[in-house]
Structure 1
Amino acid sequence: MPSGIWRLFLAGGADLGLRPYDVIDGWEAFSTAGLSVVCEGLALLTLGLVRPWGERVTSWLPLIGGRWVAPRAAVLPAAFGAVALAAIWTYTFRDFPDVEGTTFASTGWQVLLIACYLPLSLWAPLLAVVTWAYYRRRCRN
């Protein structure tokens, strides 16, 4: 969530201490805000792996409401997501927090950026752990 908030402020035109400061607008601002919304949605789906509502489809959905979620239908996308996140963040964080061509107005802004984005490095391994726990819980013999 912290990185999403950072991106939303950026999309809204906040300075955030970045130098050179280029206001993002139009399509770039929309896609930056959209990325935050999609990431938060995917992160919230992870809760389905550890909460009871992730085992049974909600009853208000027509046709499939009340049915059990097939373990494979949850485990395969979650496992793929964990691997994809590991690849994405390994590539993205290769030079973090030194962003080529960007400096900060003060060290405080750089520390805030690091504090907002560092939790992302835990997303892949934690998703892998809860996926494994879901698999063990749902597929025990």
Structure 2
Amino acid sequence: MTAGSFLARLHGRTATGVPRWAVRVAYAISLTVLPSGLWRILSVDLRVPLMDAPTDGRPPPDWFGGEWWYVIGLSAVSETLAFLAVGLVCTWGEVWPRWIPWLRGRRVPILAAVIPAGVGATFNTLLWPYSMIMISLGRRVDGGGDLGLGTHGWQVFVFYASYWPLAAWGPLLGILTVHYYRRRKAAESVGVREDGARSPAVTVSH
């Protein structure tokens, strides 16, 4: 199986008129979330020493809710939300897939994709760059004092390498959302059907 056929099975057929750079951006969005999810699972659930344990024998501080399933669920949901960006470059972002009852085969309204994607892009753009700047300064997101991260040496590098990519999530999604909107509006203006063919011309008889 070639790399192209594997990606086609993973995300479906690329929509008509989508340039290669947009496909790359869509996958890059998924990759911005993956490292932080792996870091949480490895450090919190699997107790890989990515944080320093307290010298009194207590476990490392728990920032994610305590239960192992919560950390896995948080990571899975985050990655799923990021992967939805792939719909902005694929046919299932323009025509509802066959496994969706009542909607299957129908055209996805442009705003039904653009509004959620735009909200997500705005939220993540406001959240992650600011959060990572504050964390990098050793402060809490709310501007409070010591973060108490519990990382030193190589652990600091791994933490920032895992979390700083999140700062690109919102801007990349914003770029892709604007491209999706402009591409579909342009397709509508020239009468291109969702399957990529041009709509038949209308003949007016006199």
Same fold at TM > 0.5: yes
Q: Alignment length, in residue pairs?
A: 140
Structure-1 separation of matches of 2:149 and 2:44: 17
Aligned residue for 1:16? 50
Structure-2 separation of matches of 1:90 and 1:60: 37
For residue 66 of structure 1, give the secondary structure of its aligned residue in structure 2.
Answer: coil
Q: Is the 8 A contact 1:19 1:102 kept in 2?
A: no
- Per the TM alignment, residue 93 of structure 1 is displaced from its structure 2 partner at its CA by 1.6
Structure 1 residues 48-57 or 130-139, which shifts more? 48-57
Query: Aligned in 2, Cα 1:28/1:91: closer, same or farther, shift over 3 Å?
Result: farther
Query: Aligned in 2, Cα 1:64/1:102: closer, same or farther, shift over 3 Å?
Result: closer
Please tell me whether Structure 1 or Structure 2 has the larger radius of gyration of its CA atoms.
2
Q: Percent identity?
A: 36
Q: CA RMSD in A?
A: 2.2
- Gaps in structure 2 of 5+ consecutive residues: 1-33, 140-146, 190-206
Q: Is the 8 A contact 2:51 2:60 kept in 1?
A: no
Q: Is the 8 A contact 2:122 2:170 kept in 1?
A: yes
Structure-2 separation of matches of 1:113 and 1:8: 13
TM-score (norm 2): 0.61
Aligned residue for 1:78? 117
The equivalent position to 2:66 in structure 1, one of 17, 28, 32, is 28
Name which structure has the greater RCO, CA cutoff 8 Å, separation 6+.
1
TM-score (norm 1): 0.87
Structure-2 separation of matches of 1:80 and 1:22: 35
